[in-house]
Amino acid sequence: MLRFSYGDEQISFERLPRNEGIQRVLIKVHPDCRVEVAAPAQADDNEVLAAVKKRGRWIYQQLRDFRQQSAYVTPRQYISGESHYYLGKQYLLKVLEDPDATPQVKLLRGKLEVTLRQKSTAKVEQLLSNWYKVRAIEVFAKRLDALLEQTLWVTERPPLRILTMHTQWGSCSPQGRLTLNPHLVKAPRECIDYVILHELCHLAEHNHSERFYRLLHQVMPEWKVIKAKLDARAGWYVLA
């Protein structure tokens, strides 16, 4: 771990390696307030620290924003009246108990309705988690198919899997498999499209080089605005 001072705060970050041909330092602040810095392998720690300190104000603001989010996002209790998200819209949770009913989750008249035979917080959480995963598979598959029409460099539909992650919305393996976070289905469609396009760009550029960002800008010119919107609501989507 490396660290630097900004005002009265000591900010620590983990240094990650980058491809040798890439000279740019990439800084990422996660919703859980971890800071990661990807830097060229040939750069020594002092050079990396100097580059990071130049972005000190931005890093501090990101950490402050995520901490404020955490203060307002209360732990889920999975009871009627709670707010939950789906495709960017907020729904009130309604928990119903029916000994003869089949346990299920459905959207009905602006509410996220969970029916189970006997009320149980753990069971409500499990039903909702499964429901989100099923919806995520359906929504992500449809959006991937639609977005492939824009990404002409992708010649075959890449494999897609769903995996719950706490610090990533998506990833692309060296073999070309896309992995998406089911929590992402709680975000607006444009945010889902941004993450999918981001990962599809990695099929052509496997790092965050200038060519990668040119490609991303080509298929989604407004990606910075959409990314900022997603980052600002990350705490709500991951914890809600």
List the domain boundaries for the chain.
2-72, 83-239
Closest CA to 89 of 169, 182, 186: 186
Rounded distance between C-alpha atoms, residue 18 and residue 223, angstroms: 23
End-to-end CA distance of the chain: 31
Phi and psi at 12, nearest 5°, equal -100, 150
Strand order of the β-sheet with 178-180 is 160-162, 178-180, 170-172
Tens-digit pLDDT string for the chain (240 aa): 899 998 878 899 999 887 666 678 889 888 778 899 988 888 899 999 999 999 999 999 888 887 776 655 567 789 999 889 999 999 999 999 999 999 999 998 889 999 999 989 999 999 999 999 999 999 999 999 999 999 999 999 999 999 998 778 999 988 999 999 999 999 999 999 999 999 999 999 988 888 999 999 999 999 999 998 898 788 778 765
* Amino acid, res. 201: C
Would the pTM count as exceeding 0.85? Answer: no
Rounded distance between C-alpha atoms, residue 237 and residue 240, angstroms: 5
Three-state secondary-structure class, residue 3: strand
Q: Helices (H) and strands (E) in the chain — how many of each?
A: 7, 11
For domain 83-239, give the CATH superfamily: Metalloproteases ("zincins"), catalytic domain (3.30.2010.10)
